[in-house]
Amino acid sequence: MFAVIMAGGKGSRFWPRSRERMPKHLLDILSERTIIRETVDRIRPLVPAERTLIVTGRSHAAELIRQLPEIPPENILIEPVGRNTAPCIGLAATHILKRGSDAVMLVLPSDHRIGNEPVFREVLQAAAGAASRGDSLVTIGIRPTGPETGYGYIEQGDLFSTSGNEKIYRVRSIREKPPREQAEQFFRQGGFSWNSGMFVWKASTILKAIERCLPDLHRGLIQIREALGTNREEEVVGTIYAGLQSVSIDYGVMEKAKDVLVIPGDFGWSDVGSWDTLWEVAGKDPDGNAVRGPFLGIDAADSLVHSPGKLVVLVGVRDLLVVETDDALLVCRRGRSQEVRKVIELLEREGRKDYL
Amino acid sequence: MFAVIMAGGKGSRFWPRSRERMPKHLLDILSERTIIRETVDRIRPLVPAERTLIVTGRSHAAELIRQLPEIPPENILIEPVGRNTAPCIGLAATHILKRGSDAVMLVLPSDHRIGNEPVFREVLQAAAGAASRGDSLVTIGIRPTGPETGYGYIEQGDLFSTSGNEKIYRVRSIREKPPREQAEQFFRQGGFSWNSGMFVWKASTILKAIERCLPDLHRGLIQIREALGTNREEEVVGTIYAGLQSVSIDYGVMEKAKDVLVIPGDFGWSDVGSWDTLWEVAGKDPDGNAVRGPFLGIDAADSLVHSPGKLVVLVGVRDLLVVETDDALLVCRRGRSQEVRKVIELLEREGRKDYL
């Protein structure tokens, strides 16, 4: 079994901690370990370092290798440019097949939080069992905790099999991020999972699905496969990748594929998409403050304080997100951290590259 | 004419910028210049550096000399321990008489803001004129802008004289910081000034008043006078000062003295006692933000941002005081900066001397 960790994200929503050169998964914002370090550690009982592949951009490779010294450098696959998840996954599958093994791949984002790791691994193993016995594309679903509109929804059909505590269903339909009303209907109705962006399948299975659904990408991957291990590899991957269409595996493959299964999982998942989400999933003191770093509060409540080095004192405030780095300080009303994107846009417009 | 600048204050209310080793008057929180630098520059047209005396504690002398290189080092008078304003002023008067001149002394706090400096100097000159012509103790009053309870009030009596635009009155009574109701009555009634803590008198006049009102202090000052310029000076001043009673010139002398005059002044005065006051007196952008340092606001209003080096971004917040230093960050609800004192107390209790 292989693990493929997709580490192409930018995570600009975690500014000022996240920067162009230091995206979210390379940061220790969830715990003392960086998020990619947690992601790799979490699957270690299932997959050894030699079979853990990480797909990332060139500018982040050095930091990744520094943070994950046990991963063989040849397992860091460079995407010359970001082309969304379908090319990324196709590239990883091509590498795995080239190594002579039609292994099951666990495809995992690099930057999610998993609260219950033993259950998470049970789910992955159940998925891997199902994937290895045929040509199914298995998605890891998340049992919805509310009618969120920020995720895709997977509608389950008949029960396919049972593995320990985990139930595997055929997928009836995959829905893009729905409007509020529809999300509420899905949530009330039951039988829907959130699309976590985690998948399990054999390398040959996903490549066959790519061949059917994204033939241009498949042709590119064949050319890449021929160049792998030769002195033309970097040049060929660079040329082919530049010409690829940017498309997600969900839209490009999963929504059109036939033999798709889902395991609804319940393991304390969060994609931790913003400082607000971080406050929600973080441990809090009795006043509701989630604190990293030295802190003193006087009548201060329900706030996130992220300042690894500096003493932060809050007096008479609540519902704030306070994030401090060596060169920038963010103070944001809780509930409005999506607007951090506007900060990035403003800084770009003003040419303040030093803060990006 | 001499100027005596009292620079013994701690200014702990400006934490985290103010520290035990760096009190308010040594900080550049009002402008690009430090407050003591502004104080000295402001009186330069009236008093040369050689006749400007500064009374301060031992631990702040080096920084003072660094900031005010034009002041002769022998004009920095060291208080071995803080004993409030009466001993401080008595010490300065003793130095002036020892230099052989019964000059008029302008006694000025080191850490006030003056918006209109030409008018301020006019008031000082009028006061000096009155003080030089007899044995009056002249206080600089401030025309009240509201029924503040944080200041003492000076009740004016008959007109004593007129000097240019300035009117000098006999003082009928001096009142300690009044309760709210009384402050409102004083404000409605008129004829009251705030006690600014600025005084003008001849050195001999204040020493005679000290002799009458605070005979113990006067005896100590005579001993100090004998030791000045000898190799016993430091030892004698240290011993005498340690034994002195801590008493303010207001309570110890002014409230009991007979020949007291007041000039009600109107020159944009503020004692800038807290971060809240600083926001009030500071220039603001159209959103009401008073900003020092690089700043970006998205729907952010009516806040103070004091961060000389670091980019501060506020998103969706208002009425905050945000103050950032190399080792600490304060985020305080506007209107509650008096509670910064609690921060100091907490840090003291926890033995966090590094932050004090």
Cross-chain Cβ contact B343/A298 below 8 Å = yes
Give me the half-sphere count of Cα atoms (radius 13 Å) on the Cβ side of residue A168. 24
Indicate the DSSP class of residue A265: E
- Verify whether the Cβ–Cβ distance A315 to B333 is below 8 Å: yes
pLDDT value at B307 more than 90:
yes
pLDDT band at A91 (very low <50, low <70, confident <90, very high): very high
* 3-state helix vs strand vs coil in chain A, percent to 5: 40, 30, 35
Q: How far is B183 from chain A (nearest CA, A)?
A: 28
In chain B, positions 76-95, which contact chain A (CB-CB < 8 Å)?
none
Answer yes or no: are the C-beta atoms of B329 and A329 closer than 8 Å: yes
Looking at the fold, whether B105 and B252 belong to one and the same domain comes out as yes
CA–CA gap between residue A173 and residue A40 (Å, rounded): 31
Rounding to the nearest 10 degrees, give the CA dihedral for residues B127, B132, B135, B139.
20
Q: Give the separation between CA A85 and CA A88, rounded to whole angstroms.
A: 5
pLDDT for B158: 97
**Residues forming beta bridges with residue B278, ordered by sequence position:** none
Name the residue among A312, A335, A342 with its Cβ closest to that of B298.
A342
**Whole-number pLDDT of residue A151:** 93
Residue B11 predicted with pLDDT over 80: no
- Place A4 in a pLDDT band, splitting at 50, 70 and 90: very high
Same domain, B211 and B297: no
Q: What integer is the mean pLDDT of A88-112?
A: 95
Q: What is the mean pLDDT of residues A181-199?
A: 96
Tell me, yes or no, whether A279 and A228 share the same domain: no
Inform me whether the pLDDT recorded for A308 exceeds 90: no
Is the pLDDT reported for residue A12 higher than 90? Answer: no
A355: distance to nearest CA of chain B, Å? 9
Nearest to B332 among A316, A342, A346 (CB): A316
Query: What residues have CB less than 8 Å from A342, skipping those under 6 apart?
Result: B298, B315
Give the integer Cα–Cα distance in Å for B155 and B145. 15
pLDDT of residue A188 exceeding 90, the answer is yes
Q: Read off the pLDDT band of A236 (50, 70, 90).
A: very high
pLDDT in tens, B67-91: 999 999 999 999 999 999 999 999 9
Give the residue ranges of DSSP H helices in A148-214.
180-189, 203-213
Rounded to a whole number of angstroms, the distance from the CA of B282 to the nearest CA of chain A is 21
Please give the share of chain A, as a percent, with pLDDT higher than 90: 94
Chain B partners within 8 Å of A320 (Cβ) = 317, 331
Contact assessment for residue B169 and residue B259, using Cβ atoms and an 8 Å cutoff: no
Which of A21, A28, A24 has the alpha carbon at shortest distance from A6? A24
pLDDT in tens, A268-289: 999 999 999 999 999 999 999 9
Please answer whether residues A10 and A111 qualify as being in contact, where contact means their C-beta atoms are separated by less than 8 angstroms.
no
Pairing of strands A52-57, A2-7: parallel
Distance CA B155, CA A19 (A): 62
Same domain membership, residue A254 and residue A351: no
Asked, as a colleague might, if the bond just before A294 is cis with ω within 30 of 0, I would say: no
Distance CA A41, CA A31 (A): 13
In this prediction, what percent of chain B has a pLDDT beyond 70? 100
CA distance to A2, A126, A159, A302, B4, per residue, from A104 (Å): 6, 12, 22, 43, 84
Tell me if A328 and B312 make a contact (CB, 8 A cut-off): yes
Residue A301's beta-bridge partner residues? A318
**Least CB–CB distance from B339: residue in A16, A298, A347:** A298
- Tell me whether residues A343 and B313 touch, CB distance under 8 A: yes
pLDDT of residue A191: 96
Check CB contact under 8 Å for B330 and A320.
no
Average pLDDT over residues A84-92: 97
Which residue of chain B has the CA closest to A296? Answer: B343
What are the E-state strand segments in A126-191? 137-142, 153-163, 166-175
Q: What digits encode the pLDDT tens for the residues B24-52?
A: 999 999 999 999 999 999 999 999 999 99
Residues B279, B258 share a domain:
no
The per-residue pLDDT for B49 is 98
In terms of CA atoms, which chain A residue is nearest residue B316?
A333
- Mean pLDDT along residues B137-155: 95
- Per-residue burial over B128-162, b if 16 or more Cβ lie within 10 Å, else e, is bbbbbeeebbbbbbbebeebbeebbbbbbeeebee
**Is the pLDDT at B194 greater than 90, yes or no?**
yes
Beta-bridge mates of residue B154: B174, B193
Identify all chain B residues contacting A339, using CB atoms and an 8 Å cutoff: 298-299, 315-316
Residues A139 and A223 in one domain: yes
**pLDDT at residue A11 is higher than 90:** no
Chain A residues touching B293 at Cβ < 8 A? none
Q: Alpha-carbon Rg of chain A, whole angstroms?
A: 21
Residues B279 and B257 in one domain: no
User: What six digits make up the tokens of A322?
Assistant: 């306070």
The Cα of B284 is separated from the nearest Cα of chain A by a number of Å equal to: 19
What pLDDT score does B12 carry? 84
Long-range Cβ contacts of B51-54 (<8 Å, 24+ apart): B51/B1, B51/B2, B51/B3, B51/B103, B52/B2, B52/B3, B52/B5, B53/B2, B53/B3, B53/B4, B53/B5, B53/B77, B53/B92, B53/B95, B53/B96, B54/B4, B54/B5, B54/B7, B54/B110
Domain membership of residue A316 as a residue range = 275-355
Average pLDDT of chain B is: 95
DSSP string covering B53-75: EEEEEHHHHHHHHHH-TTS-GGG
Q: How many whole angstroms separate alpha carbon B54 and alpha carbon B41?
A: 13
What's the number of domains chain A is made of?
A: 2
Same domain, B212 and B66: yes
Decide: residue A95, CB within 10 A, 0-12 exposed, 13-18 middle, 19+ buried.
buried
Q: How far is A18 from chain B (nearest CA, A)?
A: 15
Name the residue type at position B19. Answer: R
Number of helices and strands in chain A (H, E) = 11, 17
Are residues A321 and A175 both part of a single domain?
no
Residue A201 has pLDDT above 80, yes or no: yes
User: Between chains, do B355 and A311 touch, taking CB under 8 Å as contact?
Assistant: yes
Residue B202, C-beta contacts closer than 8 angstroms, at least 6 positions apart: B102, B103, B104, B105, B131, B132, B135
Amino acid found at B355: Y
Q: B29 in contact with A at a CB cutoff of 8 Å?
A: no
Residue A309 confidence (pLDDT): 86
Q: Mark whether B256 and B298 lie in a shared domain.
A: no
| Residue B208 shares a structural domain with residue B339 | no
d(CA A329, nearest CA chain B) in Å: 5
Q: Does B190 lie in the same domain as B66?
A: yes
A316 contacts B329? CB cut-off 8 A: no
- Side-chain-side CA neighbours of A296 within 13 Å: the count stands at 22
Select from A209, A239, A270 the last residue of a domain. A270
Question: What value does the mean pLDDT of chain A take?
Answer: 95
Asked if A317 and B331 come within 8 Å (Cβ–Cβ), the reply is yes
Share of chain B residues as helix, strand and coil, in percent rounded to the nearest 5: 40, 30, 35
Smallest CA-to-CA distance from A141 within A254, A8, A257, A3 is with A254
Domain-terminating residue out of A229, A250, A270: A270
CB contact under 8 A, B329 and A336: no
Q: Which residues of chain A neighbour B314 with C-beta distances below 8 Å? A: 331-332
* pLDDT value, residue B100: 86
Cα B113 to its chain centre, rounded Å, is: 9
Chain A interface includes B304 (CB < 8 A): no
* ipTM beyond cut 0.95: no
Domain boundary among B252, B270, B288: B270
Start-to-end CA span in chain A (Å)? 38
Residue numbers of B between 330 and 349 with CB closer than 8 Å to A = 330-333, 335-337, 339-340, 342-343, 346-347
User: Residue B332 is nearest to which of A310, A315, A328, comparing CB atoms?
Assistant: A315
- pLDDT value at residue A212: 97
What are the structure tokens assigned to B295, written together?
């700043």
According to the model, what pLDDT value does residue A28 have?
A: 93
pLDDT, average across residues A252-270: 95
Residue B18's CATH number = 3.90.550.10
d(CA A14, CA B304): 24
Contact B332 A314 (CB under 8 A): yes
Minimal C-alpha gap between B350 and chain A (Å): 11
Q: Decide: A301 and A318 in contact? Cβ < 8 Å.
A: yes
> Averaged over A191-217, what is the pLDDT?
97
Q: What is the DSSP letter of A252?
A: I
* Residue from the list B296, B312, B326 with its beta carbon closest to the beta carbon of A346: B296
